[in-house]
Amino acid sequence: MRGAIFALAALVASAAGAKDPKFGFPLDCDLGDTCYIQQYLDHDPGPAWNDYQCSTLSYDGHRGTDIALPTLADMNAGVNIVAAAPGKVLAVRDGMEDTYFTQDNAAAIDGRDCGNRVAIGHGGGWITDYCHMKQGSVAVKKGDRVAMGTVLGQVGLSGRTQFPHLHFSVQHRGNHVDPFAPDGVTTCQGDLAQSLWLDTPEYEPGGIIDVGFAPGVPDYQVIKAGAQTKTFAADSPAVVFWVFAFGLQKDDEIQYGFTGPGGVTFENTTVFDRNKALIMRSGGKRLRGAAWPKGTYIGQVDLVRGGQVFDSRTHSFTLR
């Protein structure tokens, strides 16, 4: 059944031809810096999943593009969601709480997985939907006319979600369409000529969200919240280097460590046994004397796939 739906979506999108709309980026952020694409539309009609590049930045049945913020602190600071194209507001929902989806609140969220949302009609059977908006941030109402770039609200954590992001979906006459590959054919080469974006976002196969040093093993929820301190005192009980990353695949490696004055060193490699949407890894050294040596501590992390580094980051601080 899903295969038939995907085939129909491809036919409908192709038939639209020259009437296909073009979309601006729906988030007021700097892609690759203050936001990143966590997941793409699933192109696999079976129980597996593939994004438009034949990689695994998706999940079974995912019907949109998830544009994520690095931390809850970024969400709380406020990041605007904007209309990707001119049109008319067809539906609005606000008032749902910003909270992580759990089994405890699943019943309350059931049927409202999109959370706080805005849907916009663009004519010709085209609709865009903007999900997981911040409670109380929706800035338009049903029936409003909006221009491309009109602020609709802000990124939140409402509905069925585990991280602050905008789920952006495109539909044509009831069928979900991938704006990166609207013909429904996964070529694994990203044909920019077929894209529905005015300026097609660069594909990132996963990457590093943030790194830092801490005086002990950091708490994962604190890292996700963006509340982890990145420095420590000379008499801290440990020097720990941590890494927060997304889009890791089975057999990927994360190589991380640091060097410091006086011969202080640490290094570690983790090989993943399954795909991971988000990960945090950390490690370091315990204090063995009265204080850590003064000088500069330099942390380095490499993400490795198929023997090739696909993302890396350094971070340093100096004890004086």
Task: Kindly state whether residues 131 and 255 are assigned to the same domain.
Answer: no
Q: Is 12 left (phi over 0), alpha (psi -120 to 50) or beta?
A: alpha
Whether 73 maps to a domain, the answer reads yes
Task: Kindly state whether residues 186 and 254 are assigned to the same domain.
Answer: no
Q: Which amino acid is at 217?
A: V
Count of alpha carbons within 13 angstroms of residue 34, beta-carbon side = 12
The structure tokens listed for 247 are 């889009």
> For 66-110, how does the pLDDT look when each residue is reduced to its tens digit (9 = 90+)?
999 999 999 999 999 999 999 999 999 999 999 999 888 889 899
Task: Kindly state whether residues 131 and 243 are assigned to the same domain.
Answer: no
Q: What is the DSSP letter of 292?
A: P
Give me the mean pLDDT over the 42-46 stretch.
Answer: 89
Task: Kindly state whether residues 167 and 217 are assigned to the same domain.
Answer: no
Q: Where are the alpha helices (DSSP H) in 207-306?
A: 220-225
The answer to whether the CB of 257 falls within 8 A of the CB of 281 is no
> For 203-229, how does the pLDDT look when each residue is reduced to its tens digit (9 = 90+)?
999 999 999 999 999 999 999 999 988
Containing domain of residue 222, as a range? Answer: 207-319
Compute CA distances 221 → 54, 100, 238, 280, whole Å: 31, 11, 20, 10
Over 50: is that where the pLDDT of 10 sits?
A: no
**CB-CB neighbours of 300 under 10 Å:** 17
Whether 228 maps to a domain, the answer reads yes
Task: Kindly state whether residues 211 and 165 are assigned to the same domain.
Answer: no
The answer to whether the CB of 135 falls within 8 A of the CB of 115 is no
CA–CA separation, 79 vs 96, rounded Å?
18
Whether 198 maps to a domain, the answer reads no
Residue 187 pLDDT class (50, 70, 90 cuts): low
The structure tokens listed for 294 are 């003064």
Assign residue 296 the CATH number of its domain. 2.60.40.10
Per-residue pLDDT at 184: 75
CA–CA separation, 127 vs 246, rounded Å?
29
Residues 6+ apart with CB under 8 A from 313: 208, 211, 243, 300, 301
Comparing 230 with 149, the larger pLDDT belongs to 149
Per-residue pLDDT at 46: 87
Task: Kindly state whether residues 10 and 152 are assigned to the same domain.
Answer: yes
Q: Which amino acid is at 176?
A: H
The answer to whether the CB of 247 falls within 8 A of the CB of 205 is yes
Task: Kindly state whether residues 188 and 214 are assigned to the same domain.
Answer: no
Number of domains within the chain: 2
Task: Kindly state whether residues 27 and 124 are assigned to the same domain.
Answer: yes
CA–CA separation, 122 vs 99, rounded Å?
31
CA–CA separation, 160 vs 298, rounded Å?
38
Environment class of 241 (CB within 10 Å of its CB; exposed 0-12, middle 13-18, buried 19+):
buried
Determine the number of helices (DSSP H) and then strands (DSSP E) in the chain.
Answer: 4, 17
Task: Kindly state whether residues 221 and 163 are assigned to the same domain.
Answer: no
**What pTM, to 2 d.p., does this model score?**
0.89
Of the residues 161, 193, 225, the one at which a domain ends: 193
Spell out a b/e string for 134-147, using b for 16 or more CB atoms within 10 Å of the CB, else e.
bbebbbbeeebebe
